[in-house]
Amino acid sequence: MKKLLALVLALVMVLAATSAFADGLLKIGYVQVGHESDWRMANTQNYYDVFTKEAGFELELIDCDNDHALQLAKVREFVQKDFDYIVIDPIQTAGWDDVLKEVQDAGIPCIIADRSVDASADLYTTAVGTDMTAEGETAGKWLAEYLNGKEAKILVIEGSTGSSAAIGRAEGFNKIAAEHPEWKIIDSQDGDFTQAGGQQVMESFIKTYGADGFDVVVCHNDNEAYGAMDAMDAAEIKYGVDGKIIISFDATKEGLTRTLNGQILCNVECNPIQAVIVMNVIKALQNNETVEKFTLVPDEGFCAPGITSEIVTTMTDEVLAGRKY
Ligand code: GYE
């Protein structure tokens, strides 16, 4: 009898040690990239909206401010605190092997969300995100359709160097560009996914190439596109259907507003609403169900009114009205 009591007591203590038992909430640690863009803010808000106490979660979301070393340190902190799940949105693809191994050794399920890592998939539980290379290809295919054989000099304002978002979009776009000898990518610089970065890069492009030196500006996200517009406004360079062609990525509410009003001609969506998918993956893991190694977040592309396209959807007021972020 004493033995049985001791066994029950030990069991209760083990269960109590796990946070799921202590307060009924699952402890989720999310190392967020930072706060560089509207997309990022929407993604963060979406996590707060979904991972609520009412839904059974206690979310600790860390803004890593684009600092890879800080992101690694915070993951290690989550391990030490024995969180139930660790969600990583990797600032850069490289440098994850050791820390992922540590999370795995601690027995904590790890989800890679939004961006990807170049570590072996054996080192994490599952991944959720968009297909950034496909996004780049969509932008390229739309441009090919729109230019219809015309020559074009192209400038690129890249996303943060080393991030899968920038790598994928460049790879996808370059693949299509390689099929078009009439296109010339004349320069490509890092705008760090920020409006200020986009403006700075565009200002230096204008200085170097002049208003007549380019036809197309490909911006790896909406905020960079806003910055590029600021620089072009200051230099009195026209953009839109009868000016320079601006292509953007993200399709945030503001980005789509500027697509609807014809400033951005093509905006390839990258859906920031990913928290529900991550939550469903966690619920499945809780139920010991097997989950896919990768869950794709679907997204589409949009172009300005007056442009017909087989590649992307022409923007309307209704599309914009349906957007929360
Ligand atoms: O495009 C950009 C953000 O990782 C897909 O990061 C995300 C990218 C997004 O800063 O706006």
* Residues 73 and 91 sit within 8 Å (Cβ to Cβ): no
114 within ligand 1 shell (Cβ under 6 A): yes
Q: How many CB atoms lie within 10 A of CB 150?
A: 9
Distance 16 CA to ligand 1 centre (A): 39
Residue 4 vs residues 1, 14, 21, 163, 321: alpha-carbon distances, Å: 5, 15, 21, 55, 62
Residue 171 three-state SS: helix
Residue 275 three-state SS: helix
Q: What is the pLDDT of residue 3?
A: 56
Residue 145, burial from CB neighbour count under 10 angstroms (0-12, 13-18, 19+): middle
Collect the ranges in the chain with pLDDT lower than 50: 4-5, 7-21
Q: What is the pLDDT of residue 175?
A: 98
Residue 192 vs residues 38, 105, 115, 298: alpha-carbon distances, Å: 13, 34, 15, 24
As a whole number of angstroms, the longest Cα–Cα distance in the chain is 90
63/159 Cα distance (integer angstroms): 18
Q: What is the pLDDT of residue 15?
A: 46
- Residue 27 structure tokens: 């402890």
36 within ligand 1 shell (Cβ under 6 A): yes
84 within ligand 1 shell (Cβ under 6 A): no
Q: Cα torsion for 127, 133, 135, 138, to the nearest 10°?
A: -150
- Nearest Cα neighbor of 226 from 197, 204, 205 is 197
Q: What is the pLDDT of residue 299?
A: 86
Q: Dihedrals φ, ψ of 55, to 5°? A: -85, -5
Q: Dihedrals φ, ψ of 15, to 5°? A: -65, -40
Tell me which of 32, 193, 226 to substitute to probe ligand 1's pocket, judged by most ligand atoms within 8 Å of the beta carbon: 193
Sign, CA dihedral 312-313-319-322, equals: negative
Chain position carrying tokens 């009205």: 321
Q: What is the pLDDT of residue 229?
A: 98
Distance 34 CA to ligand 1 centre (A): 10
Q: What is the pLDDT of residue 5?
A: 47
Chain position carrying tokens 């015309």: 150
244 within ligand 1 shell (Cβ under 6 A): no
- pTM score, whole prediction: 0.92
* Residues 302 and 269 sit within 8 Å (Cβ to Cβ): yes
- Residue 71 structure tokens: 């992101």
- Nearest Cα neighbor of 275 from 47, 52, 88, 60 is 47
Half-sphere exposure (CA, 13 Å, Cβ side) for 107? 2
Q: What is the pLDDT of residue 243?
A: 98
39/208 Cα distance (integer angstroms): 30
Instruction: Please give the angle made by the CA atoms of 188, 240 and 133, to the nearest 5 degrees.
Output: 40
